[in-house]
Amino acid sequence: MINRLNLARAAAILLLAQSGLMAQQAPASSQRIGFHAVRRGPNGALLPWAAADPGAGYDKTLNLLWFYWAHVPPYWDSQPTRISHGVSVPGRQLGAINVPKYMLFRTLETLGIGGDQFAMMLSSWELYYQYSGDPAVKQNMIYLAETYLAHSLSPDTAAWPHLPYPCNGGPTLVYDGDLMLGENVTQPDKAGSFAAELVTLYEMTGNEDFLRHATGIADVLAARTKPGDADHSPLPFKVDAITGAVRSPYTTNWTGTLRLFQELDRIHKGNKSYQQAFQTILTWMKKYPMVNDRWGPFFEDIQGWSDTQINAGTFAWYLMENKSWDENWKQDVRHIQDWVIRSMGNSSFLPSLGVLVIDEQTAYRIPGQSHTSRHASIELRYAAETGDLRNKEMAIRQLNWATYFVDDDGKSRYPDPRTYEVWWTDGYGDFVRHYLRSMAAFPELAPAGQPHLLSSTSAVRDIRYGARRIDFTLFDSDASSMLRLVSKPASVEVDGKALPSGGNPGDAGWSWQPLGSGGILRIHQRGGHGVSVRLGTGA
């Protein structure tokens, strides 16, 4: 586990500042957003706070976020108590707690993790690992998954066995229920999202234990999937894991569960019931939320109905990843995005900036850096896929706006001016990934002077960035990858054999697309896992 002692953190911050990674003093401005003075371009458009160039600004922001996460102070408590809804009651002694705060807290100060907290982090850190090549990122993913699995699963005798509970009832490594409804209540949608990330982590590490837990969760969810109707999703939002009593019957957050069934089927793991459950959920999504726009709920701390941007936007992204399922995907994605703009768009946040920010949900009309950047990443991918660029400029401004809530040391606070709390979900897990996905959609948004793997259709098992070469290993032997490089590569090899340049689309080979600075390398490989890119010296 990473050393998170306060002394080490202070020393690391000092080293970071001396190395120049810490942000320089922002330009003087009468306007401020979050932590920083507003930075504008020559045309008056909002820029990232950390640099005039978006790629450099995003890169610095991402690196600061990882730095802060890696040095989060531990939580110490030698006599833990159980805490429920702010009321402390005596609990059994479990010994001293010494874990990073994000294992127990939703914010720096509020006990109780968010239901999707660890799934979100695994999603973001997977992309940041391939982008950065830092082995500590993958080690943190393993730590998150192993720790959560060791302390969260419903018992074998439960009506819904082997599912991770979404929240801890006290300041202990015991995840045992729902934040609002208490012990024994679980959220099947969050279990599906976490299991989908476990499959990716298995592909990254080869650890069969992650696969075993993923298939165990998938078995339970597939066996309990029903057709659903306008008031009941195929699986309930909240259910008592022990008795099977449904506590909340409807949610539209099933993209993670669809990914789980789809990927296990693709790699031939698990059983055939996954295909039927997958089709049942997909059919329901098309019949109900895609028609009636009832895109809630998601958040465990909201009582009553609330439409959410996360459910709608996540499914829109998923449609673009799987266009063959929906011949009208362009219209359907546009419909979802336009619904988000109408329902969640917020033009009242410093209107002079010219940025339409996105509210979290209808029950909490506060714009979020995570929700605004998610919306932006979807718009950018839609623009790249369709050639419809009408929202591209606004999407980049939205990404720029969201960076202002990341401080010089990497803490990321929610934009609610009443609290500015550091949320591990919105500021980290459900934030980092949207910038990396945006770079994959438009590689010119990646930093120009650095090499980065921006996307791959396969999980990346390991990656090493050297002075003259980049080496990475993929889970799949048939895969496509995209990198932004400083110069055209001298050669590309797969398992030691030269890969041809040019050729027909779909054939094994590589191609180069020059940009104003450096360019984009696209690789399609077949029959091998290890890729070596020998870097050139010219443009």
- Chain segment 30-75, per-residue pLDDT in tens: 799 999 999 999 999 999 999 999 999 999 999 999 999 999 988 8
Rounded average pLDDT over 507-517: 95
pLDDT for 465 beyond 70: yes
- Domain span holding position 287: 114-292
pLDDT for 297 beyond 50: yes
Q: How far apart are CA 255 and CA 34, in angstroms?
A: 31
Q: What are phi and psi of 145, to 5 degrees?
A: -65, -45
Q: Answer with the one of 259, 292, 325 that is the final residue of a domain.
A: 292
Residue 170 lies in a domain: yes
Residue 263 lies in a domain: yes
Report the CATH number that the domain containing residue 230 is assigned in CATH: 1.50.10.10
State the total domains in the chain.
2
Which long-range contacts link 376-379 to residues 24+ away (Cβ below 8 Å)? 376/402, 376/434, 376/438, 377/317, 377/434, 377/435, 377/437, 377/438, 377/441, 378/313, 378/316, 378/317, 378/320, 378/333, 378/337, 379/337
Q: Answer with the one of 257, 292, 327 that is the final residue of a domain.
A: 292
DSSP strands (E only) in 223-376? 238-240, 246-248, 345-346, 357-361, 364-367
pLDDT for 97 beyond 70: no
| Predicted pLDDT at 29 | 56
Angle at the Cα of 326 from the Cα atoms of 323 and 331, rounded to 5 degrees? 95
Q: Answer with the one of 242, 268, 292 that is the final residue of a domain.
A: 292
Residue 375 lies in a domain: no
pLDDT for 471 beyond 80: yes
The candidate with the shortest Cα–Cα distance to 340, out of 385, 391, 281, 280, is: 391
pLDDT for 1 beyond 50: no
Residue 194 lies in a domain: yes
- Chain segment 381-433, per-residue pLDDT in tens: 999 999 999 999 999 999 999 999 999 999 999 999 888 999 999 999 999 99
Instruction: Evaluate if pTM is beyond 0.75.
Output: yes
Share above pLDDT 70 across residues of the chain, in percent, rounded to a whole number: 90
Question: Regarding beta strands 530-534 and 519-525, do their DSSP bridges make them parallel or antiparallel, or are they unpaired?
Answer: unpaired
Residue 411 lies in a domain: no
Residue 217 lies in a domain: yes
- Chain segment 185-238, per-residue pLDDT in tens: 999 999 999 999 999 999 999 999 999 999 999 999 999 999 999 999 999 999
Asked whether 151 and 173 are in contact (CB, 8 A), the reply is yes
Where is 86: in which H helix or E strand? none
Number of H helices, E strands in the chain: 14, 24
Residue 410 lies in a domain: no
Residue 413 lies in a domain: no
Q: Quickly tell me which residue has 């030698």 as its tokens.
A: 78
